[in-house]
Amino acid sequence: MLPRGCVFHLLISGVLAGFAPATPGWAQEHPVDPRADVMHMDAIRLRDVSMRLWMHAESAQMTLPASLADPDLEDDPAERYEYIGIKGVSFEDVGEWSTLAIAHVPLDEAYQGPPTAQNPSGLLVPILFLDGHVQFTSKEDAEAIIKESRAVYEAIDTGEPLPDARQSAWNVRAIVAAARAFAEDHDGLLPPDMGTLLAYVPTDPKRTPTLRDRAGVFLAPRAARRTFIPEEPTGAWVERNTGYDYLAAIGDGPAAMLAPLDEIEDPSRTALVVLKPTHAIDVTGPMGNERSVITVGTVGGGIQGAHPDLARWQAEQSRTVINASRSEDVALPDLTHMARDLGLLAFAYRSYAADNDGHLAPDLGSLLGYLTPDMGGAQVPPADAASRARVFLSPRAEAITQIPSGEPTREWINRHASYVLTVKPGRDGITTLAELDSGAVLILLHAPLDEPVDAVRSDGKPERVVPLVFPQGGATWWEPGFIEQAMAEHREAVGEAQDHP
């Protein structure tokens, strides 16, 4: 994923580049709006509007303002844009910010771009979304986005049902919050089943003021329109009627005990609540393409609408991750295992630099002393010497490597470590953490390129990937070829820098 600023730049550049004629006679056949520079300025001003919204939110308990206008400004440029928001609506209630419009150029002032198969008229409308990004979309798509966004704000304001995909996201967010509230009351342990969560669903004055309303959170949106909810619903009623799967439910074998919330690896990716496949929601995406999505809520509280095949894979992986938190006899999935290791090593790498005047670790063995039970970071820390040794090993290496009976040494780590540290202080012209954070290096560590693991892309298609971690932390995974390309470009850049100091 590119940084938001890069996405913004690419969106602007790509659209403006489209204003150039494709062939000598193209301009006569397809007149193009001469206001490309004005269009660019609209995009910049809409970003300024986003900053204004956030400044207001920070001073108003994270709620939206009544309008964009600033009464203290003459000729306020924000007055040009049409505002969709409603005063008092909370950012938290909105949920997914990146797909909800908040302001736009008036539709009757759409810009004339080059006609395409997806946008025959060529008309383009700049739209500001709540997460701050600006998108140029066809006038037809803009009308649909604006209509749905306005409906979402009105539903939040009045407490009426949201569009199905957003209602499901709201439901899942409430269920995850209920699970975390239960854990707070039970020594960090998650509840045994979905029905237990009924008593912990948060009360919202507009959406869930009564027990009956709170029980409705467990119904898939489509089913909610045809399911009678009794005045005094019970946990058993929830279990019979819920449209969601709770992945930490008590079961057989390793699942026959409550799951410890803080011991679950990768909480931002590990799913806890998933919409059942039979309740998949049909949505219309950009350019009118229709698709089905499954709502997925993670242990950490994140929400996404996933392709059904991706959601199924996430659920399978997540059940194993949750069971691994219950029992040492359950191994983490290989992808989670390596991402966990890399996250711990990246945190240790930065801790080493903090203790050494910003200077970087010369090798992986130097990080051993920073892998402690009380280390910070998002991953569950290693508890003992053997666990520390295993952090340096991929699942394949762990299966064939004899772990030392005592504390491993720096030399043992450097001889047996599976993971690749891409930065060599001095060789790459980088010696300090500040230089590393300047963007000179894209990948800090990666798993062995010859040990790819199965994953599923956002479009539901299978892929083979290798985990990696960035210099600032944050593990992800790419196809091996992408990692090789990134490392080749890095080596080329280092060579050029050394040739031209």
From first to last of the 501 residues of the chain, give the pLDDT tens digit. Answer: 333 333 333 344 344 444 433 334 434 454 555 566 778 888 888 988 888 888 888 888 899 988 887 666 566 777 889 999 999 898 878 877 888 999 999 999 999 888 888 889 999 999 999 999 999 999 989 998 999 899 999 999 998 889 899 999 999 999 999 999 999 999 999 999 999 999 999 999 989 999 999 999 999 999 999 999 999 999 999 999 999 999 999 988 877 899 999 999 999 999 999 999 999 999 876 556 788 999 999 999 999 999 999 999 999 999 999 999 999 899 999 999 999 999 999 999 999 999 999 999 999 999 998 988 777 665 667 878 888 999 999 999 999 999 998 889 999 999 999 999 998 876 666 788 888 888 778 899 999 999 999 999 999 999 999 999 999 888 999 999 999 998 888 777 655 444 434
pLDDT at site 428: 61
pLDDT at site 9: 38
Name beta bridge partners: 284: 290
Place of tokens 């619903």: 233
**What is the full DSSP assignment across 33-71?**
-S-HHHHHHHHHHHHHHHHHHHHHHHHTTSB--S-S--T
User: What would the two tokens of residue 154 be?
Assistant: 């009105």
pLDDT at site 286: 57
pLDDT at site 487: 87
Name beta bridge partners: 304: 296
Place of tokens 């040492």: 328
Place of tokens 């809520």: 297
pLDDT at site 373: 78
Name beta bridge partners: 299: none
* List of long-range contacts for 301-308, beta carbons under 8 Å, 24+ apart: 301/173, 301/176, 301/177, 301/180, 302/268, 303/95, 303/96, 303/169, 303/172, 303/173, 304/96, 305/96, 305/165, 305/168, 305/169, 305/281, 306/458, 307/456, 307/458, 307/459, 307/460, 308/277, 308/280, 308/460
pTM of the model: 0.82
3-state secondary structure of 359: strand
pLDDT at site 342: 95
Give yes or no for a contact between 430 and 409, defined as CB atoms under 8 angstroms apart: no
3-state secondary structure of 76: coil
Q: Is 104 exposed, middle or buried (0-12, 13-18, 19+ CB in 10 A)?
A: buried
| Distance separating the N- and C-terminal Cα atoms of the chain | 31
Place of tokens 């928001």: 85
Residues 6+ apart with CB under 8 A from 471: 346, 436, 437, 441, 444
pLDDT at site 1: 36
User: What would the two tokens of residue 488 be?
Assistant: 């080749």
Give me the sign of the Cα torsion angle 63, 68, 71, 74. Answer: positive
Q: Using CA atoms, how far apart are residues 135 and 137, in angstroms rounded to an integer? A: 6
Estimate to the nearest angstrom the gap between the alpha carbon of 59 and the chain centroid: 26
Residue among 167, 335, 347, 355 nearest 243 (CA): 167
